[in-house]
């Protein structure tokens, strides 16, 4: 009987963690998301890679885009539906995308 109660307790804790972990504040840290998802191509400082035709996110051109346009680029791949940017289909929540967008805005030169 004690073993059964212990198993139920372990399952309850596992379920609670499964529900709580994705909602923790670190999951919505824009800088950490940028580092994990964007920095490899767009550089840590948002300078991009001109030789590879990867745009600078810190440039005036990128910063002049509306929040809706930038959100579309991050969430859906923009007007060209670029698969490498369709992060809403890769598991990022709307809140995480907004945190990422806020970090991109902070990269302004």
| Sole residue written with tokens 């909602």 | 23
pLDDT in tens, 23-47: 555 445 889 999 988 999 999 999 9
Say if CB 37 and CB 106 are below 8 A apart.
no
Work out the burial of residue 104: count CB atoms within 10 Å of its CB; fewer than 13 is exposed, 13-18 middle, 19 or more buried.
Answer: buried
Residue 27: its pLDDT value, please?
A: 47
Report the pLDDT averaged over residues 51-72: 91
- Phi first, then psi, for residue 97 (nearest 5°) are -65, -40
Q: With bands split at pLDDT 50, 70 and 90, how would you rate the model's confidence at 82?
A: confident
Whole-number average pLDDT of the chain: 85
Helices then strands, counting H and E runs in the chain, come out as 6, 0
Tell me the Cα Rg of the chain. 19
Report the pLDDT averaged over residues 49-75: 91
Domain spans of the chain, in order of start: 28-106
Is 21 a residue whose pLDDT tops 80?
Answer: no
CATH topology of domain 28-106: Cytochrome Bc1 Complex; Chain D, domain 2 (1.10.760)
Residue 56: its pLDDT value, please?
A: 93
Say if CB 74 and CB 82 are below 8 A apart.
no
């Amino acid at each position: 009987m004690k073993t059964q109660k212990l198993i139920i307790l372990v399952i309850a804790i596992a379920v609670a963690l499964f529900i709580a972990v994705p909602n923790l504040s670190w999951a919505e840290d824009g800088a950490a998301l940028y580092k994990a998802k964007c920095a490899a191509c767009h550089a840590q400082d948002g300078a991009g890679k001109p030789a590879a035709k990867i745009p600078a996110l810190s440039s005036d051109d990128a910063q002049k885009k509306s929040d809706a346009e930038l959100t579309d680029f991050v969430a859906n791949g923009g007007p060209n539906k670029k698969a490498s940017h369709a992060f809403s289909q890769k598991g990022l929540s709307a809140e995480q995308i907004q945190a990422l967008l806020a970090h991109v805005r902070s990269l302004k030169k």
